[in-house]
Structure 1
């Protein structure tokens, strides 16, 4: 916990992908800091688990969970409508929803390419289009897009995912230019391997290609990091919260790497 309990008091943060490790922790850290939070995800059972997790620590009084498929226009509109009824104007948007997927160019299907790009890029832009106008009128707000180190450099068999995350970086930079004029800050975070279900699956698949166990591949990954370990989801969440806060008021259009030293530039 790096923020005072009322450090984000009066803020209303919408977090997509709330059932994933990064989104989940972002919801928790935001609530701990005193913000009202609308948490969105497709899996209602996991959303209920998130709410229960927050109830256990007594931080659920400002939480609304909304089941939404962000690929669907009606769901996006309903999400923003429900959020407004819950806690008024959205002051911070965290676009954390995303999926991995794809393979080598030889094996990559059009269906896989479209599926990854639709959620990781298109739905991010489409939801932001619904949230931004009110921020623009108010002359304040912050948007944080969850990209990846794969949005800065691609790796073997990662065409679809990397392309979608490169697109998120491009969107972040272009939109930051537009939004800054109206007092709205737009940034991205670019985590490397994170200790989440998605991150562990990525390590597992990398190991399978080399005929290694998950444990063997994890050791290789961590031995190759200057920090000696992969990132914890709460570390990403706290970086997101910082970018949402007034402490980052002159950070605009940046792609903040959280790599354990894997990528330095």
Structure 2
């Protein structure tokens, strides 16, 4: 995808010193790391995290720690799966700080750890409600304020599970796959408005990934704080990319993308057996290509098909030319 370039009349506020950032699921783990990373740069942060009856005030604790370090932050307690939560968290930012420059949509749930045949459709609905539908509502609520910002950014926190699947976590993987497709579509729609949309798939030791046998050295390497700078970059004014997926963890960063390999003509009159034989020659992923949307992928396939069909005719024409 071509690099994202906001309109030339938008100021390049690279210091982000007065940026207003919403971080959902910010009471612990990755969300807490993202909120603190932004606050340390001078941004004003809305720390959004649901608070269950009788549970600790995680959002309040994070806000207190940010303020103790000299930062600015407020707590917001919506359950992002509830109706109206998107409007509530965006409204909190506008009421407290007067505007909104970036959203890090981090709130999520891992869902049940069991195979598909051991679960139910309700498991999928519950996970999709938090990991997917709540982020649609948040995007809808944030659209106008982000478009009004000189450098609006919307960062969705996904997972490699949404790229490749994961055994025993089909609801979680499906929700993140849907989130990825939603983000790519949103990036295309919001590009003309100067709002960048990207995905971060982090590897981090959190409550969702907690394992009793996790090696302490590995746990330290994949601490949530080690991904904070990446999230800040992807939601900053300096980030001019949009519609991209970035994977990060343990101090490592790499880009991910859906790709297609080389093609070959599969004529309509081929038998299924002939298609199988052709497919075997195309299983390798040489000459990888990525596309800025399904439309571009379709157009590329049509161009390649037309070129392949024209090639034999051109060869025949050349063969008939006089020596």
TM-score by length of 1: 0.82
Say whether the 8 Å CA contact 1:120–1:165 is kept in structure 2: yes
Instruction: Work out which of the residue numbers 91, 94, 98 in structure 2 matches 1:88.
Output: 98
- Please say if 1:135 is aligned against 2:146: yes
| Structure with more helix by fraction | 1
1:106 match: secondary structure: helix
Q: How far is the alpha carbon of 1:138 from its aligned partner?
A: 4.6
Instruction: Please list the CA deviations of residues 55-89 of structure 1 after superposition, one character each: whole Å capped at 9, or x if unmatched.
Output: 33232xx2011110112223332222221011111
- Which whole-Å CA distance do the structure 2 matches of 1:156 and 1:73 have between them? 31
Within-5 A mapping of 1:107-186: 107-138=118-149, 140-186=151-197
Deviations 1:82-120 (A, max 9, x none): 210111111101000001013211112222211111000
Q: 1:1-265 alignment to 2 at 5 Å?
A: 7-43=15-51, 45-59=57-71, 62-102=72-112, 103-138=114-149, 140-192=151-203, 194-200=204-210, 204=211, 214-215=212-213, 218-219=214-215, 230-249=221-240, 251-260=241-250
Q: TM-score normalised to the size of structure 2?
A: 0.68
Gap regions ≥5 residues in structure 1: 1-5, 205-213, 223-227
Q: Give 1:262 shift.
A: 11
Alpha carbons 1:69, 1:76 under 8 Å: kept? no
Higher mean displacement: 72-81 or 142-151:
72-81
Partners of 2:30 and 2:206 within 8 A in 1: yes
Q: 1:253, 1:123 → 2: CA distance?
A: 20
Secondary structure of 1:98's aligned partner = coil
| Cα separation, partners in 2 of 1:87 and 1:101, compared to 1, 3 Å | same
Task: Give the conservation status (yes or no) of the 8 Å contact 1:104–1:158.
Answer: yes
Greater Rg by CA: 2
Residue range with higher mean Cα deviation, 151-160 or 229-238: 229-238
Q: How far does residue 137 in structure 1 lie from its aligned partner after superposition?
A: 4.3
Task: Tell me what 2:284 maps to.
Answer: none
Gaps of 5+ in 2: 1-13, 257-323
Q: Deviation digits for residues 14-56 of structure 1, max 9, x if unmatched?
A: 1100113111011111111011111111026111221222233
The CA distance in 2 between the partners of 1:36 and 1:79, in whole Å, is: 14
Q: 1:117-162, CA deviations, whole angstroms, 9 ceiling, x for partnerless residues? A: 1000100111110101232245640010000111111121010000
What is the total number of aligned residue pairs between the two structures?
237
Give the drift of 1:220: 11
Aligned-partner SS, 2:208: helix
